[in-house]
Chain A
Amino acid sequence: MSYFRTVLLVAAKDLRTELRSREQIVTLLFFALLVLVVFNFAFDFTIIDFVSLGGGILWVAFIFSGVLALGRSFQIEREQDRIQGILMAPVDRSAFYLGKVCATFLFMAAVEAVLVPVTVILFNFPFGPRVGAALLVLVLNTLGFAAVGTLFAAITTQTRRGELLLPLLLFPAAVPLALSAVRSTSHILAGRPFDRYSSWIALSGAYDLIFLTTAILLFDYVLDE
């Protein structure tokens, strides 16, 4: 049981730190909003249909702010030199990994929770009655992104070119998630039936399972001994 307790403690620590300073969440939100605004100017939505582009725009905003969240997630540990304490703790290091994944997931979820209504307003678009499916898409894809991203961020934040390396490694690895997320969201925005995108959701679920497991197994090798 102490494994799960550790996971919750790590996640709670990150959340509590953030609730006190609120600096990270505000940065993430504004960055994601700016991405949306840029897209608002980038395409002429009187001519182009938002339905076909909306999924892509949303997920670009989520992914870019997600990369920021990931980088920051480990940077703060390094700043306070807390890594030593973590390495000395008598718990499996993967518990620390899962705690970080939870925290990152929650930060990204917070951004998404704000951004989706804003998108509806900014682009004048109803998200439709498929809230349950939309939530499933958001949760599964954000989780997968947080899972692989946390593993890579743990590595790249230990290097000098970390900020460049994280997207370089993460974006190609997260291609299936990006595809699944954008396709599912596009189908939802277009109001298409669930079985049109159920296989994409299954793909995301499988991806999450495979890479969470892999990362849990591999995380031991990531932090310096």
Chain B
Amino acid sequence: MPARRGILDLAQTILFVIVLVLVPLCLYVVFAVVPTESRMGVVQRIFYFHVPSAICAFLGVGVCAGASALYLWKRDRRFDLLAHAGAELAVVFCSIVLISGPIWARPVWGVWWTGEARLTSTLVLWLIFVGYLVLRGSADNPDQAARWGAVVAIVGALDVPIIYKSVAWWRGLHPRVLKATGGQGLDPTMERALMLCMLTFVLLFTYLIIQRCRLGRLQDDVQALVHAARRGSLPAART
């Protein structure tokens, strides 16, 4: 055990250092290096945080759903910790997307919100995983929280593409505006800046998820100690 923990610690420290370097670099590149977009102006720079956040939100959902399925199959506590961490990060990054999106949209599209497919399904995704977290908080014991959470996560993740399709049929996609910044002749500097930001966010996501899993493990350890203390079988303190 100590050897394995040592390797994980080392990996985590390296990751932390990399992220510590990348984040200021990203900020510098986004605000000082990248040229201002011709049509939208300065507000377009939100794009470099908004898009990677969306990627991380979906990554969180994927991790949560996958870990949930693995938990139900293997009943290994570590998968449940991973699922919970994934859901929390999904909610955090999804919140960033939902806040930064309208801030960008208002000057560019003239409205805070449209009923468009991508926006609506992101909002519903956020609602599903907030529900996941509230459900876990309402469970009486960790086993219940794990099982119920897993069920909701799997149903939720399966539902997301269906929700997206149904809203797209209903409202139609906003083809031009969202694609215009993404595909159509993106300046190479902008493209490289976006790639840098994506890398930074994904590494940050990885670091955060490892941290959150370890925190969960520590919480479990504390709970075990509390139970042992109640039963009077606490291991003797080292002097």
Query: Which residues on A are within 8 Å of B, measured CB to CB?
Result: 148, 151-152, 155-156, 158-161, 165, 168-169, 171-173, 175-176, 179-180, 183, 199-200, 203, 206-207, 210-211, 214-215, 218, 221-222, 224
Contact = CB atoms under 8 A, between A and B. Distances in A.
A169 B166 contact: no
29 contacts: A148-B155, A158-B144, A159-B138, A159-B139, A159-B140, A160-B138, A161-B138, A165-B135, A165-B138, A168-B131, A168-B134, A169-B128, A169-B152, A171-B127, A173-B159, A175-B167, A176-B163, A179-B166, A179-B170, A180-B166, A203-B169, A211-B158, A218-B72, A218-B154, A221-B147, A221-B148, A222-B147, A222-B148, A222-B151
Contact of A176 (B134, B144, B162): B162
* Interface majority SS (helix, strand, loop, mixed), chain A: helix
Nearest to A200: B169
Contacts of A175: 124, 159, 163, 166-167
A180 B169 CA distance: 10
Contacts of A210: 158, 162
B81 interface: no
B150 A221 contact: yes
B156 A221 contact: no
Given A175-B167, A179-B166, A210-B162, A151 B124 contact: no
A165 B144 contact: no
Contacts of A180: 166
B134 A179 contact: no
Nearest to B150: A221
Contacts of B156: 172-173
Nearest to B72: A221
Contact of B128 (A155, A160, A172, A183): A172
Contacts of B151: 151, 155, 218, 221-222
Contacts of A172: 124, 127-128, 131, 156, 159, 163
Contacts of A199: 169
A221 B163 CA distance: 25
* Interface majority SS (helix, strand, loop, mixed), chain B: helix
Contact of B135 (A148, A155, A183, A214): A155
B174 interface: no
Interface in B86-140: 124, 127-128, 130-131, 134-135, 138-140
A214 B154 contact: yes
B165 interface: yes
A137 B126 CA distance: 28
A62 to B, nearest CB: 18
A176 B159 contact: yes
B63 to A, nearest CB: 19
Contact of A179 (B72, B139, B167): B167
Contacts of B169: 179, 199-200, 203
Contacts of A214: 154-155, 158
B162 A218 contact: no
Contact of A207 (B124, B138, B150, B162): B162
Given A159-B138, A169-B135, A176 B154 contact: no
